[in-house]
Amino acid sequence: MIPYGNDIEKAAQIIKAGGLVAFPTETVYGLGASAFNKVAVARIFEVKQRPSFDPLIVHISSIDQLNMLFESPIEPLVYKLAELFWPGPLTIVHKKKAGVPDIITSGLDTVAVRMPSHTTARKLIELAEIPIAAPSANRFGRISPTKPQHVQKQLTGVEYLLTSDEAVKIGIESTVVAIDGDTCNILRPGAITLEHLTNNGIKAESNKEKASKALSSPGLLKSHYAPLKPLYMFSRLPETFPSNSGIIVHSNKYNLPDNIKTAITSDNNTMTEIAANLFESLHQMEDDPSIDNIFIEVVEKNGIGIAIMDRVQKAAFHTEQRYL
């Protein structure tokens, strides 16, 4: 079991000493190490069993720290995005400074940075006095963690698990955008949507072709976020389910049989609530020994629904289309 507690000072000392700390952010739990300590960052890959071609996100607590990470001149669009959306669930990919370790960027000439809004996360970075590299604190390819127990279930070899009373309120990973002059391209959908960007006067697109040129990484892999049991998507509730099924729905309008385990992510189909409870519902089904097959309702691909379905389709990749 990973030692845990809410001692931010202790967690910061561990980061400074080159250790690993799992910590909450507003999106999901991260597994952090000092971004400029290559050995510590290498241990993140080891603990997560993550392939080294998948670059990490660097977390900052103040805008000045951008100068340690992004090559100057920093595109004006970066500051515009930062002003609008930081601290918050937006990750910006920009040309990196030479000193940023290759292990963070998988040898790419760009680095991904975000300033989290979760106060515990920001305080940790502030006290560690260094940007913190942190992927989500799950094993590679598995369900992302939104609760401390999700981290405990999947990881060992971590020095400390920092907890907090403040909720992980968004529940899915940040939106990742690559800067290309005055335009940003969405590489991974998240709670900040294309509409949020364009409504704020930002030129934005979601160009898959450009994205796959920018990087070949599991953020873009077809299978990811997967539970250890078959997961099937459905759009209309099937009349019968196999025995030992667990069902995830997004409203309380269904009359589900008593003998079937059910998780309701949102009583009235509210997208932000569905996102917040999505990974938790998958963990719950994965952990229940009486469940062999998981069924999940799809949502409309609008707004945050795009990010939700990105996660659901990747989690269900191996069984996709069966019940649609």
Q: 112 vs 247, which CB is nearer to ligand TXA?
A: 112
Q: Does the protein bind ligand TXA through residue 54 (CB under 6 A)?
A: yes
Q: How far is the CB of 173 from Mg ion (least distance, A)?
A: 6
- 20 touches ligand TXA by CB under 6 A: no
Site string for ligand TXA, 68-97 (x = CB under 6 A): ---------------------x-x-x----
CA separation for the pair 136, 139 (Å, rounded): 9
Cβ pair 290, 261 in contact under 8 A = yes
Residue 57 sits in the site that holds ligand TXA (CB under 6 A): yes
Q: In the complex, what is the shortest distance from the CB of residue 180 to ligand TXA, in angstroms, rounded to a whole number?
A: 12
Task: State the pairing for strand pair 30-34/21-23.
Answer: antiparallel
Q: Which of residues 199-258 bind ligand TXA (CB under 6 A)?
A: 214-215, 217-219
Q: Give the phi and the psi of residue 317 in degrees, each rounded to 5.
A: -50, -40
112 binds ligand TXA (CB under 6 A): yes
Four-residue CA torsion sign, 32, 34, 36, 37? negative
Q: Considering only residues 12, 20, 28, 35, which one is a binding residue for ligand TXA as defined by CB under 6 A?
A: 28
* 164 binding ligand TXA? (CB under 6 A): no
The piece of 110-118, 149-157, 195-203, 258-266 that touches ligand TXA (CB under 6 A) is: 110-118
Q: Is 146 in the site for ligand TXA (CB under 6 A)?
A: no
For the chain, the farthest-separated pair of C-alpha atoms sits apart, in whole angstroms, at 61
Q: What is the CA radius of gyration of the chain?
A: 19
Q: Which of 105, 154, 163, 266 binds ligand TXA (CB under 6 A)?
A: 105
Q: How far is the CB of 279 from Mg ion (least distance, A)?
A: 11
3-state secondary structure of 50: coil
Distances (CA, A) of 158 to 45, 46, 141, 302, 306: 12, 11, 18, 38, 33
Cα(174)–Cα(177) distance, rounded to whole angstroms? 10
User: 162 vs 214, which CB is nearer to ligand TXA?
Assistant: 214
186 vs 249, which CB is nearer to Mg ion?
A: 186
**Cβ pair 274, 259 in contact under 8 A:** no
Binding footprint of Mg ion on the chain (CB under 5 A): 136
- Cα(48)–Cα(138) distance, integer angstroms: 6
Please select the residue that binds ligand TXA; options are 66, 82, 187, 304, rule is CB under 6 A. Answer: 187
Q: Which tokens sit at 162?
A: 């920092």
| From the list ligand TXA, Mg ion, none, partner contacted by residue 297 (C-beta under 5 to 8 A by kind) | none
| CA nearest neighbour of 47 among 149, 170, 111, 135 | 135
Binding mask 120-139 for ligand TXA (x = CB under 6 A): --------------xxx---
Is 161 a binder of ligand TXA (CB under 6 A)? no
Q: Of 3-11, 26-34, 199-207, 227-235, which part binds ligand TXA (CB under 6 A)?
A: 26-34
Instruction: Quote the CA–CA distance of 224 and 222 in Å, as a whole number.
Output: 7
Give the strand pairing for 261-264 and 203-205: unpaired
Phi, psi of 217 (to 5 degrees): -145, 160
d(CA 168, CA 137): 13
Identify which of residues 136 and 281 has a Cβ nearer to Mg ion in the complex: 136
- Interface residues with ligand TXA (CB under 6 A) are 25, 27-28, 30, 54-57, 89, 91, 93, 105, 108, 110-112, 134-136, 173-174, 176, 178, 187-188, 214-215, 217-219
